[in-house]
């Protein structure tokens, strides 16, 4: 008689069998056993692990039920950034995207991969030695939230991959989503329990994946489609893959073989006409799917071509999201109200009779400004057409004039601020009307929300921001750093642990770099990119405060309007007082951009790169400029020291020739940078 298997052997056998049947069910959509038989195997494994807790491993199928709650999500840095996609909203824009790629490549002989754009939450799954190591959200593309415990609860995510050729360390990327049937079932259950209902599948999926208690996530009907190989960290070890996949389609088939779930509707398309046919098919049939989609994603298939095309900003040139037409509905515009923004702008918005637009209940919509309202001739009481622009932001398209009764009321911008009753102002040539009162409570509430958001001060949401203002604890952003624990505890629904977390987050924010603090201040016309330019130019906040308007205008990328706005901000006594309070509280930001190392070949120079380079991307060339002590400019001017010229150079080359700016070939530029040619 053969010896009886040990508990460890029986557990290993059950895990292998369950993982195999998960693969058949989720990856191949071809189950070999009934649900009851699957449940019996899982129950046997649960009983064995309960009897031998020392044999439990994180990649066991039993661990999908979720572990104990975590205090907060940690951060995961993406080794390769998770880029966002540019959009095409019609066939002309799609064709223009492909033509740009053809021009850059000098070649139109390539095929494309077409995939449905799933309405969910992008995640990155990292595997090491075949076991799921980390699951993270996209976040800002560079860093995401560590949601590993929650990812493990999704049954279609392999906890361990199986195959003969598996890279030792690799990442896959996919979209976590909630099916329409699962969403409806969950909302019915919540309604029966008297709980609030989720608005749509995307928000429900995102909320489920960001639960601090993974046991709650395990109860939510989440699923995943994997859409790309993120990175094989050991790409040079050919033995891991046998041979590295040469294109996206091949990589996806390899991932399917390892047990990952791919969307069965994925297609290879040879021509742009084939892409359009695929798009039109799913424009018509998308409602037949049991999950939300808002377009298709088109990718140039060949990895070598993808590398040649590179990225622009945070968007790959080799992929585009071709969006379905926005979903529209007709409803009643009940009234037009005003929201006061953080810069004092009076922002009108429409209050609507609730209406379902593409699966989302819309009650409000943007109206942009007074001129937009007048141009569209929108009136309170109108029946209006509403759409979700890009499937996200609700906006009023136009009135249904034929349904007017004569009782509708035209809109007029109020003469005074609706919050503080200060007379409003509107500068000549500007579209927006402003409340000039810097102490307007509505402005400060928006300013405070902006400040804590940009400064990454966790724990201060809208409700707490309102409470801090109402209690008189915070009259400007600097007051945050004087708030005491006992003061927080006096606020409604504030416990000791929450108060400690808020104070810890406030303390941590003192270390933010200059560009982050500059953006957080809410200076008019200063967004994140402008703040980055200022943060690179000035070493400390004191230096930025003392900069003249003329000095600011010399910074490449900052025009006279922005320079005037920044200079005016730092002339205002009230703003200077806040900055002094911030500094006294320990918020004294400085530049943290890595100082150039090595030979300073470009010290003090502004260098612009144009056209397509042969051996490096434009972004890599600009990194070399910065490493050499120079500034990578975006436009040619008299201050430009050199223009680096690649293939298909356009207007920048013509302007450089007109201004007498010296041009460098790629070879000459690399020689100056000290790079081997």
Q: What is the CATH number of the domain that holds 567?
A: 1.10.150.20
Q: Are 532 and 515 in contact (CB under 8 A)?
A: yes
Q: Do 449 and 572 belong together in one domain?
A: no
By CB neighbour count within 10 A (0-12 exposed, 13-18 middle, 19+ buried), where does 344 fall?
buried
Q: Do 300 and 157 belong together in one domain?
A: yes
> What is the rounded distance in angstroms from the CA atom of residue 636 to the CA atom of residue 274?
40
Write out the residue range of the structural domain in which residue 560 sits.
514-584
- Residue 353 placed within a domain: yes
- Residue 491 placed within a domain: yes
> What is the rounded distance in angstroms from the CA atom of residue 121 to the CA atom of residue 359?
17
- Residue 557 placed within a domain: yes
Q: Do 518 and 507 belong together in one domain?
A: no
Q: Do 146 and 220 belong together in one domain?
A: yes
Per DSSP, 58 falls in state T
Q: Are 434 and 440 in contact (CB under 8 A)?
A: no
Instruction: Scan for tokens 């690649």, then name that residue.
Output: 646
Write the CATH number for 192: 3.30.470.30
117 catalytic residue (yes or no) = yes
Q: Which two tokens stand for residue 425?
A: 């102002």
Q: Do 245 and 258 belong together in one domain?
A: yes
Alpha carbon distances (Å) from 643 to 52, 261, 633, 665: 69, 47, 9, 9
Alpha carbon distances (Å) from 627 to 595, 609, 673, 675, 677: 8, 15, 9, 12, 18
Q: Do 278 and 149 belong together in one domain?
A: yes
- Residue 422 placed within a domain: no
* Beta strand residue intervals within 215-327, DSSP E: 222-232, 267-269, 293-300, 311-312, 315-316, 319-323
Please, which residues have CB within 8 angstroms of residue 642's CB and are 6 or more apart in sequence? Answer: 605, 607, 608, 661, 662, 663, 664, 669
In this predicted structure, the answer to whether residue 19 has a pLDDT above a threshold of 50 is yes
- Residue 368 placed within a domain: yes
By CB neighbour count within 10 A (0-12 exposed, 13-18 middle, 19+ buried), where does 174 fall?
buried
Q: Do 389 and 520 belong together in one domain?
A: no
What is residue 91's three-state secondary structure?
Answer: helix
Q: Do 536 and 567 belong together in one domain?
A: yes
Alpha carbon distances (Å) from 422 to 72, 415, 436, 444, 572: 43, 9, 7, 15, 19
In this predicted structure, the answer to whether residue 26 has a pLDDT above a threshold of 70 is no
Other beta carbons within 10 angstroms of residue 533's beta carbon come to: 20
What pLDDT digit, counting tens, does each position of 560-605 carry?
Answer: 889 998 998 899 888 899 999 999 999 988 876 544 445 678 887 8
Per DSSP, 424 falls in state P
What average pLDDT does the chain have?
84
Q: Which of 166-180, 194-208, 318-332, 467-481 has the lowest mean pLDDT?
A: 194-208
Q: Which two tokens stand for residue 80?
A: 């390769």
Q: What per-residue confidence (pLDDT) applies to 172? A: 95
The pLDDT confidence band at residue 445, using thresholds 50, 70 and 90, is confident
- Residue 419 placed within a domain: no
Q: Do 312 and 345 belong together in one domain?
A: no
- Residue 65 placed within a domain: no
Write the CATH number for 46: 1.10.287.610
Of 390, 410, 430, which marks where a domain is finished? 410
Q: Annotated catalytic residue: which of 4, 103, 117, 426?
A: 117
What pLDDT digit, counting tens, does each position of 113-137 carry?
Answer: 999 999 889 999 999 988 999 999 8
Please state the domain count of the chain.
Answer: 6
Exposure string (b/e) for 236-267, b if CB count within 10 Å is 16 or more? eeeebbeebbebbbebbebbbbbbbbbbebbb
């Amino acid at each position: 008689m053969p010896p009886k298997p040990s508990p460890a052997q029986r557990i290993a056998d059950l895990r292998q069998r369950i993982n195999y049947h998960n693969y058949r069910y989720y990856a191949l959509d071809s189950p070999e056993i009934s649900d009851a038989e699957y449940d019996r195997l899982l129950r046997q494994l649960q009983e064995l692990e309960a009897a031998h807790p020392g044999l439990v491993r994180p990649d066991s199928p039993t661990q999908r039920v979720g572990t104990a709650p975590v205090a907060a999500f940690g951060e995961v840095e993406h080794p390769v950034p998770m880029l966002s996609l540019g959009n095409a909203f019609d066939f002309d824009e799609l064709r223009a995207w492909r033509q740009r790629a053809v021009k850059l490549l000098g070649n139109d002989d390539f095929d494309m991969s077409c995939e449905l754009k799933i309405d969910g939450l992008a995640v990155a799954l990292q595997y090491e030695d075949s076991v799921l190591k980390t699951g993270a959200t996209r976040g800002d593309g560079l860093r995401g939230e560590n949601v590993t415990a929650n990812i493990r609860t999704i049954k279609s995510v392999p906890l361990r991959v199986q195959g003969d050729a598996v890279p030792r360390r690799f990442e896959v990327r996919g979209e976590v989503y909630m099916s329409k049937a699962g969403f409806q079932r969950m909302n019915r259950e919540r309604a029966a329990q008297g709980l609030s209902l989720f608005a749509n599948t995307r928000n429900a999926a995102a909320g489920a994946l960001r639960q601090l208690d993974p046991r709650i996530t395990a109860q939510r009907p989440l699923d995943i489609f994997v859409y790309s190989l993120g990175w094989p960290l050991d790409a040079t070890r050919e033995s891991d893959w046998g041979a590295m996949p040469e294109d996206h389609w091949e990589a996806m088939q390899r991932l399917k073989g390892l047990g990952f779930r791919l969307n069965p509707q994925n297609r290879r398309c040879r021509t742009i006409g084939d892409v359009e046919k695929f798009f039109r098919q799913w424009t018509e049939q998308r409602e037949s799917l049991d999950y939300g989609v808002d377009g298709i994603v088109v990718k140039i298939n060949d990895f070598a071509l993808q590398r040649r095309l590179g990225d622009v900003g945070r968007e790959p040139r080799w992929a585009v999201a071709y969006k379905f037409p926005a979903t529209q509905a007709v409803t009643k515009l009940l009234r037009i109200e005003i929201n006061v923004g953080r810069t004092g702008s009076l922002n009108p918005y429409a209050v609507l009779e609730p209406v379902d637009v593409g699966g989302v209940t819309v009650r409000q919509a943007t109206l942009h400004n007074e001129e937009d309202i007048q141009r569209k001739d929108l009136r309170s009481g109108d029946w209006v057409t509403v759409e979700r622009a890009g499937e996200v932001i609700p906006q009023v398209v136009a009135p249904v004039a034929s349904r007017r009764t004569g009782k509708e009321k035209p809109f007029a911008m109020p003469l005074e601020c609706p919050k503080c009753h200060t007379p409003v102002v509107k500068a000549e040539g500007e579209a927006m009307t402003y409340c000039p009162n810097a102490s307007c409570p509505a402005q400060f509430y928006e300013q405070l929300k902006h400040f804590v958001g940009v400064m990454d001060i966790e724990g201060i949401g809208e409700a707490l921001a309102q409470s801090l203002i109402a209690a008189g604890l915070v009259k400007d952003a600097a007051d945050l750093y004087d708030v005491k624990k006992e003061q927080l505890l006096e606020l409604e629904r504030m416990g000791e642990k929450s108060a400690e977390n808020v104070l810890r987050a406030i303390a941590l924010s003192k270390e933010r770099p200059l560009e982050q603090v500059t953006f957080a201040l809410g200076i008019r016309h200063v967004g994140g990119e402008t703040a980055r330019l200022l943060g690179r130019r000035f070493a400390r906040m004191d230096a930025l405060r003392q900069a003249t308007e003329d000095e600011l205008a010399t910074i490449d990328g900052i025009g006279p309007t922005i320079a005037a706005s920044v200079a005016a901000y730092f002339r205002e006594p009230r703003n200077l007082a806040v900055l002094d309070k911030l500094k006294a509280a320990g918020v004294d930001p400085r530049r943290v951009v890595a100082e150039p190392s090595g030979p300073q070949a470009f010290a003090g120079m502004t260098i612009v790169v144009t056209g397509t380079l042969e051996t490096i991307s434009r972004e890599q060339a600009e990194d070399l400029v910065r490493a050499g002590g120079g500034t990578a400019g975006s436009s040619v001017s008299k201050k430009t020291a050199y223009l680096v010229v690649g293939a298909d150079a356009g207007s920048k080359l013509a302007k450089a020739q007109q201004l007498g700016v010296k041009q460098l070939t790629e070879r000459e530029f690399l020689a100056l940078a000290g790079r081997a040619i």
